[in-house]
């Protein structure tokens, strides 16, 4: 036997049947996608997520599949995604593995914003799923199954993450119009040490009624800092035009490669998202009316900061 090609993981696995409920949901999502390859991909991803949700419930973790990207037909079409929100901890990626496979495929688009990657073996009839193990991070598209950590370690791995910071206190943007600003929101001159780049100054509008403030976001675990800028321009129709931008600070001229900016409406539904990919800034523009609320989430790796606003 060639020892160079042998390895083993702890034998602990978790097996669950995939019954009518699992297949009904998988078929419902499959119907949204017409290319056969994408439809099959979504079907298998759905079964894998379902199996992990069953396991986590058994281990007393609460999940929120409905607010995961894998539950959104639009995101399913844009990405090869099989994530599951574990409440208070983050997103766990659930990758389907066929019985004959020796590797777990991890698409590059899900290498960030995950607290782990679970390998879920689906049997030939798709009537049973077996959780084989997991890895903490992803740096390659194909991970040999023999490199998985034991499933026995997954609960402790999830629990080590600090609960995601929730910030229920919303920034009241209507007060900004009356020159009342929340703590931490500075002028661009203060935020950028009196010498912001020309790029940032382009953020300013010529309108005399335009208001702008910025806040420094410290992504501590990964040692990065960025500036979140918010601009307001009241209109004649009671609406307020709003600009959200993220810029690098200090000596950095580009945002971190995998930094993501997301915008959520008052029902926590994702309405806009963008990823830096080496760009100088990220920007959202939209309009809102007094009383409406929204949230802005900046994410890098498994760390995220959310700012909530009310107009």
Per-residue pLDDT tens over the stretch 44-56: 999 999 999 999 9
Query: Which residues of the chain does CATH 2.60.40.10 include?
Result: 171-310
Question: What pLDDT score does 54 carry?
Answer: 96
Residue 2 predicted with pLDDT over 50: no
The per-residue pLDDT for range 176-223, each reduced to its tens digit, is 887 888 888 988 888 777 554 544 555 554 455 788 999 988 876 556
Residue 306's pLDDT band (cuts 50, 70, 90): confident
Question: What pLDDT score does 100 carry?
Answer: 93
- Residue 193 belongs to what H/E stretch? none
Q: Which residue has the higher pLDDT, 220 or 243?
A: 243
Contacts of 94 (CB under 8 A, 6+ apart): 45, 48, 49, 51, 52, 70, 82, 83, 84, 118, 120
Question: What pLDDT score does 168 carry?
Answer: 56
Residue 32 predicted with pLDDT over 80: yes
Burial 51-82 (b: 16+ CB within 10 A, else e): bbbbbbeeeebebebebbbbbbeeebeebbbb
Tell me the percentage of the chain whose pLDDT exceeds 90.
49
Residue 11's pLDDT band (cuts 50, 70, 90): low
pLDDT-wise least confident of 22-36, 82-96, 284-298: 284-298
Average pLDDT, the chain: 85
Residue with tokens 């281990």: 59
Residue 116 predicted with pLDDT over 70: yes
pLDDT-wise least confident of 20-34, 91-105, 213-227: 213-227
CA torsion 185-214-162-116 (nearest 10°) is 170
Contacts of 274 (CB under 8 A, 6+ apart): 260, 261, 262, 282, 283, 284
pTM, two decimal places: 0.55
φ/ψ (deg, to 5) at 189: -65, -40
Residue 85 predicted with pLDDT over 80: yes
Question: What pLDDT score does 223 carry?
Answer: 66
Question: What pLDDT score does 162 carry?
Answer: 62
Residue 267 predicted with pLDDT over 80: no
In the CATH scheme, what architecture does the domain 171-310 have?
Sandwich (2.60)
| Whole-number Å distance between alpha carbons of 295 and 250 | 26
Q: Which residue has the higher pLDDT, 112 or 41?
A: 41
The per-residue pLDDT for range 122-145, each reduced to its tens digit, is 999 999 999 999 999 999 999 999
Question: What pLDDT score does 184 carry?
Answer: 85
Question: What pLDDT score does 87 carry?
Answer: 86
The dihedral region occupied by 257, where left means phi > 0, alpha psi between -120 and 50, and beta the remainder, is alpha
């Amino acid at each position: 036997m060639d020892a160079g090609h042998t390895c083993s993981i702890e034998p602990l696995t978790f097996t669950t049947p995939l019954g009518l409920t699992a297949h009904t949901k998988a078929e419902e999502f499959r119907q949204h996608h017409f290319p056969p390859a994408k439809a099959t991909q979504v079907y298998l991803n759905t079964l894998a997520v379902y199996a992990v949700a069953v396991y986590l419930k058994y281990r007393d973790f609460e999940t929120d599949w409905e607010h995961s990207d894998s539950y959104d037909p639009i995101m399913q079409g844009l990405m090869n995604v099989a994530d599951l929100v574990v409440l208070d901890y983050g997103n766990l990626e659930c990758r389907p593995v066929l019985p004959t496979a020796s590797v777990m495929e991890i698409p590059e688009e899900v290498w960030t914003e995950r607290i782990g990657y679970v390998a879920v073996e689906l049997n030939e009839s798709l009537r049973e799923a077996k959780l084989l193990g997991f890895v903490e991070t992803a740096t390659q598209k194909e991970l040999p199954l023999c490199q998985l950590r034991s499933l026995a370690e997954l609960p402790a791995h999830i629990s080590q993450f600090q609960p995601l910071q929730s910030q229920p206190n919303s920034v009241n943007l209507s007060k900004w119009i009356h020159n009342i600003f929340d703590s931490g929101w500075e002028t661009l001159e203060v935020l950028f040490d009196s010498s912001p780049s020309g790029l940032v100054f382009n953020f300013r509008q010529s309108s005399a009624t335009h208001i702008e403030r910025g806040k420094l976001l410290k992504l501590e675990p990964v040692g990065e800092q960025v500036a979140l800028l918010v601009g307001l321009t009241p209109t004649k129709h009671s609406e307020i035009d709003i600009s959200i931008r993220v810029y690098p600070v200090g000596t950095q001229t580009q945002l971190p490669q995998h930094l993501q900016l997301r915008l959520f409406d008052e029902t926590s539904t994702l309405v806009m998202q963008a990823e830096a990919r080496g760009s100088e800034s990220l920007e959202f523009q939209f309009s809102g009316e007094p009383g409406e609320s929204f949230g802005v989430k900046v994410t890098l790796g498994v760390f995220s900061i959310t700012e909530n606003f009310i107009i």
